[in-house]
Amino acid sequence: MKFGVFDHMDRNGSDLRSQYEDRLRLAEAYDRAGFHAYHVAEHHSTPLGCSPSPSVLLSAIAQRTKRLRFGPLVYTLSLYHPLRLYEEICMLDQMSGGRLELGIGRGISPIELGFYGVDMARAQGMYTEATDILLKAFAGERIDFAGEHFSFRDVPIEIRPLQQPHPPLWLGVTRPEGTAWAAQHRVNIVSNGRAEQVQKVASEYRRHWQAFAPDDAPMPLIGMSRHIVVADDAREAFAIGARAYAKWHASLMFLWRAHGSVPATLSFPEDFAEAVEAGYAVVGTPEAVRDTLRQQIETSGVSYLLCRMAFGDLSHAESLRSVELFSAGVMPAFEHQRTAA
- Alpha-carbon torsion (224, 54, 259, 148), positive or negative: negative
- Alpha-carbon torsion (330, 273, 12, 227), positive or negative: positive
Task: Work out the mean pLDDT of the chain and round it to a whole number.
Answer: 95
- What is residue 58's three-state secondary structure? helix
In sequence order, what are the residues at sequence separation of 6 or more whose Cβ sits closer than 8 angstroms to the Cβ of residue 169? 102, 103, 104, 185, 186, 187, 188
DSSP string, 283-301: EESHHHHHHHHHHHHHHHT
Average pLDDT over residues 44-72: 97
What's the burial of 151, exposed, middle or buried (CB within 10 Å: 0-12/13-18/19+)? exposed
Residue 337: the pLDDT is: 61
Distance CA 246, CA 218 (A): 39
pLDDT digits (tens, 9 = 90+) for 257-282: 999 988 877 779 999 999 999 999 99
| Nearest alpha carbon to residue 267 among 286, 280, 255 | 280
pLDDT digits (tens, 9 = 90+) for 210-222: 998 877 889 999 9
Distance CA 184, CA 259 (A): 38
pLDDT digits (tens, 9 = 90+) for 241-260: 999 999 999 999 999 999 99
Residue 10: the pLDDT is: 98
- Where are any strands of DSSP class E within the chain? 2-7, 37-40, 69-72, 75-76, 102-105, 142-146, 151-156, 169-172, 188-190, 222-230, 281-284, 304-308
Cis preceding linkage at 176, omega within 30: no
pLDDT digits (tens, 9 = 90+) for 278-325: 999 999 999 999 999 999 999 999 999 999 999 999 999 999 999 999
Distance CA 199, CA 142 (A): 41
- Phi, psi of 13, deg, nearest 5: 100, -15
Residue 186: the pLDDT is: 93
**pTM of the prediction?**
0.95
Contact 181, 170 (CB under 8 A): no
pLDDT digits (tens, 9 = 90+) for 138-154: 999 999 999 999 999 99
Domain layout of the chain by residue ranges: 2-73+169-340
Distance CA 245, CA 105 (A): 25
Portion of the chain with pLDDT greater than 70, in percent = 98
Distance CA 306, CA 198 (A): 13
Average pLDDT over residues 32-41: 98
Residue 213: the pLDDT is: 81
Distance CA 171, CA 160 (A): 22
pLDDT digits (tens, 9 = 90+) for 325-340: 999 999 999 986 654 4
Contact 83, 144 (CB under 8 A): no
Q: Residue 15, Cβ neighbours under 10 Å: how many? A: 9
Contact 320, 32 (CB under 8 A): no
Portion of the chain with pLDDT greater than 90, in percent = 92
Average pLDDT over residues 159-173: 97
For domain 2-73+169-340, give the CATH number. 3.20.20.30
Distance CA 105, CA 233 (A): 39
Distance CA 156, CA 43 (A): 31
Average pLDDT over residues 35-54: 97
